[in-house]
């Protein structure tokens, strides 16, 4: 299995040690690849989202099930999420830029796109990225009956 996480900006120096801890744990089950994109310096928010979405689309690996984290979507619990992400050979998880993504463009271009949400709350990107890594690790532990998920 191969996991790709597409994210914006890479200024999480304070959390890199914790990210590494979870990546190391996940790599027992799957490879993890980060694609870090730069946010566009565009004043018009719709244009910015569109340009960033085009960058995302260019970077999605072929033959990958694509998941977009977006606030107004299905909210799986950890067990549902574990079934969703461990059931595919290759997955790509998209954490959009600070203004989100052009969801309509993504839906047009990515036929196997699935939208999910972890919460109706808004999180800072660096904390959400940590949450995603932790939930991926938890997903594998659930599927492999490893004592972690309680």
Binding residue positions for S-adenosyl-L-methionine: 96, 118-123
Tell me the DSSP string of 27-87.
Answer: TTTSEEEEEEEPPP--SSHHHHHHHHHHHHHHHSPTT-EEEEEEEEEE---HHHHHHHHHT
Q: State the Cα–Cα distance between residues 85 and 132, nearest whole angstrom.
A: 11
Binding residues: 96, 118-123
Q: State the Cα–Cα distance between residues 39 and 70, nearest whole angstrom.
A: 17
User: How far from chain centre, in Å, is Cα 28?
Assistant: 19
Beta carbons within 10 angstroms of residue 89's beta carbon = 10
């Amino acid at each position: 299995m191969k996991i790709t996480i597409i994210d914006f900006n890479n200024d999480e120096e304070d959390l890199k040690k914790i990210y590494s801890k979870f990546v190391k744990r996940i790599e027992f089950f799957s490879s993890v690849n980060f694609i870090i994109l730069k946010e566009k310096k565009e004043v018009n928010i719709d244009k910015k989202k569109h340009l960033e979405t085009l960058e995302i689309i260019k970077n999605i690996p072929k033959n990958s099930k694509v998941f977009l984290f977006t606030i107004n979507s299905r909210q799986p619990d950890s067990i549902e999420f574990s079934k969703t992400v461990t059931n595919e050979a290759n997955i790509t998880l998209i954490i959009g830029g600070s203004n989100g993504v052009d969801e309509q463009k993504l839906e047009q271009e990515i036929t196997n796109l699935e939208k999910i949400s972890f919460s109706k709350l808004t999180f800072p990107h660096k904390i959400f990225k940590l949450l995603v890594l932790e939930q991926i690790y938890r997903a594998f532990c659930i599927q492999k009956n490893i004592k972690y998920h309680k």
